[in-house]
Each structure stands twice: as structure tokens, then as C-alpha cells.
Amino acid sequence: MSDQHVRGDRPVPGDGPAGDAVPLVALDGVWRQFGGSRRTPPTTALAGVDLTVRAGRSVGIVGESGAGKSTLLRLLLGLDSPTSGTISYRGAPLDRRDRALMRRYRREVQVVLQDPRTSLDPRMTVARIVAEPLRSLKVGGDVSARVDEVLGWVGLDPDVRTKYPAQFSGGQRQRIAIARALAPSPSVLVGDEPVSALDVSVREQVMDLLRGLQRDLGLTLVLVSHDMAIVGQLCEETVVLRGGEVVEAGPTRDVLTRPSAAYTRELLAAVPTLP
């Protein structure tokens, strides 16, 4: 895959005159297969995927169920290793056996999951939830002050720190999940369908929050979704997966208005429109 697939024309921090800065995360010819024996072939979840995530950009990864999004997400989060191909982090191979490297990587790459009802521990207070990555990743500093700071970033009053997830609405719970992801000061925020479990009335508010956080904090955003409309609103670049393969990629405006793949046109046709 060429650089045009997930690059835009806007310069990002560290880019030279040719815009050839080392990306934060890159996948090169990544395959992920499961199972297989002498009698049965392995199941292929990803087949030769290339992906470049550059600093300050927003990349959407879209496809239907079974497209390979979940497998790709696990690789991006360092929770799994490819069968073949390479994953690089700031230009160096990502080796899951290197504990110090993986601690740095997991501090830099944080995730917001789909459903805050299941991603937040109901037995923990908001303060403990938000502080959890700080303690698990051994991030120094004033933990209590950091909790208050990131709660403010997502529009929540520090008074909520003593409450429990069940005391909040779905949108508020997702704000807590976002605050938790921001606590260790990541460079990359990965969203796994981060608004799909929310009511329509709340969805736009959380999308506005993510858009503002990316702008104000200089975050790199990777959004995994089945919804082309959401990716169209949040992402500068779009990668379309089908059957574990990249069938189309490029600037989101081009993918949405001039799709080259028939599958992309099918996804766009399925986006609901108001009468």
C-alpha cells in the first residue's frame, strides 16, 4: 500500500519538507491466521494489511462484521502478534516480549471501548477507574490532581470522583471511559465503536468531545467502526476492510465522494438518510 492510503497533505509535528516523518504506528504486510492443521487450513483474519498512523491525524477503519476490525484492533493495542508481517512503533519493531517497550507503548496507545456499561468496573469509584492506568503503568505524579484534571477535560465536575458508574447516564459513563484513557497522556486514542452504544441524542455530544480533544491535545485518533457516517465526521483518512483485506483507503473526502471499490459503495448506500 502506498502512503496515499492513510496520509493527508497537512504537515504534522516532526515532518520534514517531504513529509516523511517516522509514523507513530505502522503495519507492513500484516497477516493474522488462527488454527490450522495438516488436514484443515488456518482461518485468515487479516491478509497483508498495510496501515500508517501519523502524528496528529485521524484514521477511520471501517467494515462490516467479520471484516477483520477486531483482530486489527487487538494488534494495534499490542494485545496480539501478527502471524507474519511487522508492526512498528516510532520506527522500531513492536516486540511483545519486551516488557519495558510494551509498557511505554500501552501508555502511548489507549483505548475507549464500545459499551461503557461493561468497560467500567461497577465496584470502583470514578476516581479509582480513572486512576487505574496511572497505577498499572506506573505513571508518576499527583494521581488525585491528574484525575480531577482529565475529568474536567471531558466535562465532568471533580465531585463525581466518589460516585459509581451506575449513578451516571450512558453518555456520562463514556466520558468517564474517555477520561480514563486520557489519564496517562497517550499520543494515540483508539476508539472501538465509541459512540455506537449511545442514544442518538448523546452520540453527537461525545463525537464533539472527541473532535475537540483531538484538536486541543494534539491527539492522534484511530476510530474502528462499521458506521461510515461517524467516520466521515471524525476522521481525515479512511481505510476500508473486507474479509481481512484493505479494499480501499485514502482521504475520507475522496473515499466518501469518489469511492473506487464496489464494496465501499455498498457501505455508503447502507448509510441511513432522512427523508
- 242 in a domain, yes or no? yes
* Phi, psi (rounded to 5 degrees) for 224: -100, 125
Q: How many structural domains does the chain have?
A: 1
DSSP string, 79-95: SS--SEEEEEETTEE--
- Write out the residue range of the structural domain in which residue 204 sits: 55-77+98-269
- 7 in a domain, yes or no? no
Poorest-pLDDT segment among 11-20, 73-82, 242-251: 11-20
Query: For position 196, which CATH number holds?
Result: 3.40.50.300
* CB distance 60 to 231 below 8 Å: yes
Amino acid at 46: L
Judged against a pLDDT cut of 50, whether residue 3 lies above it is answered with no
- 134 in a domain, yes or no? yes
94-137 pLDDT per residue, tens: 999 999 999 999 999 999 998 888 899 999 999 999 999 999 99
Amino acid at 44: T
* CB distance 209 to 234 below 8 Å: no
- 124 in a domain, yes or no? yes
So what's the pLDDT on residue 20?
52
138-179 pLDDT per residue, tens: 998 999 999 999 999 999 999 999 999 999 999 999 999 999
- 93 in a domain, yes or no? no
| Cα 110 to Cα 33: distance, rounded to the nearest angstrom | 25
- 162 in a domain, yes or no? yes
Global pTM?
0.87
- 84 in a domain, yes or no? no
Termini Cα distance of the chain: 39
So what's the pLDDT on residue 84?
96
| Cα 230 to Cα 215: distance, rounded to the nearest angstrom | 17
* CB distance 79 to 137 below 8 Å: no
So what's the pLDDT on residue 258?
94
Helices H / strands E in the chain, number of each: 10, 10
- 39 in a domain, yes or no? no
46-62 pLDDT per residue, tens: 999 999 999 999 999 99
Judged against a pLDDT cut of 50, whether residue 13 lies above it is answered with no
